Structure formats: structure tokens, C-alpha cells
Amino acid sequence: MFKISLILFFVVSVTFSTIYTPQAILPTLQQVFQLSMSETNLLLFSMLFVLMVATPFYIPIIKRYDKKKIMSFSIFFLFLSVLLSALADNYYLLLFSRVLQGIFLPGFTAVMLSYVQEIYPENSRGLGIGIYMAATSFGAVLGRLLAGWITYVYSWYIAFFVFASLLLVALFALLFGLPSTKIDNTKTKQIRSDKSIFYCFFQLEIISLLFIPMVVFFSFMSITTFITYRLHNIPFDFNESQLGNIFLILLVGVVVSPIAGKYSDILGRVKIIFIGIFSLIIGMILTTTDLNSVIIIGIGFVTIGMFSVQSVAPAYLGDLVPHDKGRILLLYQIFFYFGGAMGTLAPTVVWSYYNYFGVIVLCLGVVILAILPLIYLTFTKKYNKYEETNILP
């Protein structure tokens, strides 16, 4: 399994890096194409929003075709669309290429979570999910860091060309290094799945576990997007390379993801989610300071919170809907990327009036609102358990 884990880590890292490639160089793209902040952020929003919308259309495809073939198809066309980004000579062509990436990326993101649970034995699935989440964290660093460095030394379009080349390597690694999976087309499971997915919308615990990762990713994308504008402006005046370097702190997510997955089996998934939310809130507050070192530490805490929650939530949902993990994880992906998309665009309005501090207040508000139902459910379960154990004979 070591070889499979290594290839899986590489393929996931490279593929996810394409989501975040423009983030560290947004101020540069804003200057090159003479854009407003809203127009610049559309380069992130458009991809994430289209990714969210396109994800449900992959549901019937997943049931009919081998997951490995679907992901190979996705990465090939993702390679072509990133190559188009490198060749773009105007803003609208660059934006169009990002939309194309949003269309093809769900063929990978919507499939990989369930694929990981199929290729790993039952007693190693937690490890597999941990490796997957660690790879998404490393991909987030790779996309921002490498794009910042290459743009500073060469240019932004060379950065996109490098990522297109990496995708081509990832495609061959997937084709020749990872196993295929069985196709399941049984009608009985299909009927049961439809009922279970409809039933999910009436379960507060499931809805809560869909909304919490959504607002966590909303906050994560808001902070990592708007912190680049803050640090690019006076008094910080960071260049592209420096902006890329600050995202090195996101590497803590590589370590946190498998640890959170492991200890969720020991301490319980809810406790890890609460720890992650607490870390996220502390991190958000720290990023409002004017000290570079404290801001970076704050981003580190935000990263710990983000990847703690994201490492636990899919497994928790799988526990609640064990007979239909594929579809519940697709639903999770829809909520997750909707949060990320809105996190790149919605705070723009707040920024125009209250700057970065207003963005943080918005993020704190939505996180606190999202966690309240889970707090209620947790205390209700504890109270009911206490009542049952202390009932008089």
C-alpha cells in the first residue's frame, strides 16, 4: 500500500493545486489586466462555483464507469484548460479557462473520496482518508507557493504552464500506478440511495455536518484570499514571492490531517470538530494584528482548524449514512465548494466598507452560527444519556 499511497498523494496534490494557483498572484493579475477586486476574485469564485454546480452531474457517471477512468478523463481535460490559462492574453480568456477547470475538476474531486475508501482495506480507510486530506493540504501550498515563486522570477503565464506540465505527469501516474475499481449498477442500491439522500435533509445532525465544513471552507478561502491583498498593500508591501512564502505555513495541514483522522477514532469525531473550530476562531483573530509573525501563526491556526474539520466530517457522514457513502460524499462536496466559492466573493462587499477586519467579523459570525446546532445536539445526547443512566428503578 506504500506505493499506492505515494502515488495517491502526488496525484491529489497536483490536481488540487490548480484550484489555488491564482490566489497568491491575485494582486499581480489585478495590475496586469487592470481589474477591480471583484473581477480579480472571479478567477477563484468562477472555478469553485462551477465546480459546485457541476458536481451533481457526475453522480450517474460514477455509477456506470470505472472511477479510475473518470478521474483520468478529468485530469486530461484539466491539463488542457490549465494550458489555456497559460496561453491567455486577456482577462476573459483566462476567466473562461478557469470556468473550464471548474467543469472538469469534479470528475476528480467528487470521485476520489469514495475511490480511496474502495482501494484501501477496511482497517486502513482512516489512513487513506488522512493521506487524501494531507495531499489536499499540500496541494493548497503547492498551488500558492509555486505560483508566487515562478511569477516573481519569470511571469504568471509560466506559472500556469508549469502546473499544466505537472498535471500531465499526474495523469500518467494515475493511469499506471493506481488500481481500478469495480462498477456497481445494482438497482436495489440505487433505490435505497435515492431514499437515503432525501432522508438526509430531515436529519439535523447530517445537515449540521454539511454546513460546518461549508462555513469552515468559506472562512478559510476568505482569509487566504483577502490576506494577500492586505499584505500586498502598505504597510506590509509584500511582493509575489513573499506572498507565496506565507502559505508555507499551510504545510501544517499535511501533518494535522492524518493526526485528526487518527484521534477522531479515539476521542470521538465531534470533539475533533470542536477543537478544529476553536483553532479556526483563534487563528482568525490573530490575523487581524499588524505583526508579520503573528499573522503567519494565525494562518497556521486557521489551517489546523480547516483540516481538522475536513479530515473528520467525511468519515462522520459516512458513519451516519453507511449504505450510501458515495452519494453523501458528493453532497458534502457540493456544500463544501459552495462555501469556498462564496468565501472568495461575498466578503468583497464587506472589504469595501470595513477592510480586512470586516471580513474577519463576517467569518466569525457564520462559523458561530453553523456550530450552534452541533452544540445543541451534543448536549442533548449527553443529557439523554445521563437521564438513562440515572433513572430510578
CATH of the domain at 224: 1.20.1250.20
In a domain, residue 193? The reply is: no
pLDDT tens digits, the chain, 393 residues: what are they? Answer: 778 889 999 999 999 999 888 988 888 899 999 998 889 889 988 998 998 888 888 877 877 888 889 999 999 999 999 999 999 999 999 999 999 999 999 889 878 877 887 887 767 766 777 788 788 888 888 888 899 889 988 999 999 999 999 999 999 999 998 888 766 555 444 434 444 555 566 677 788 888 898 999 999 999 988 998 899 888 888 887 888 888 888 888 878 877 887 777 677 788 888 999 999 999 999 999 999 899 999 999 999 999 888 888 877 877 777 666 667 777 888 888 899 889 988 898 899 888 999 999 999 999 999 999 888 887 776 656 544 555 544
In a domain, residue 84? The reply is: yes
In a domain, residue 174? The reply is: yes
pTM: 0.80
Q: Where are the alpha helices (DSSP H) in the chain?
A: 2-20, 26-32, 37-54, 59-64, 67-87, 91-104, 106-119, 125-153, 156-177, 187-200, 204-232, 240-246, 252-267, 269-286, 292-320, 325-345, 347-389
**Radius of gyration (C-alpha) of the chain in whole angstroms:** 21
In a domain, residue 188? The reply is: no
Structural domain total, the chain: 1
* pLDDT > 70: percent of the chain: 89
In angstroms, rounded to a whole number, what is the distance separating the alpha carbons of residues 363 and 58? 31
In a domain, residue 347? The reply is: yes
Domain that holds residue 60: 2-178+199-386
247: which residues sit within 8 A by CB, 6+ positions away? 24, 140, 141, 144, 145, 148, 224, 299
In a domain, residue 186? The reply is: no
In angstroms, rounded to a whole number, what is the distance separating the alpha carbons of residues 147 and 153? 10
In a domain, residue 184? The reply is: no
In a domain, residue 246? The reply is: yes
Closest C-alpha among 108, 379, 338 to residue 211:
338
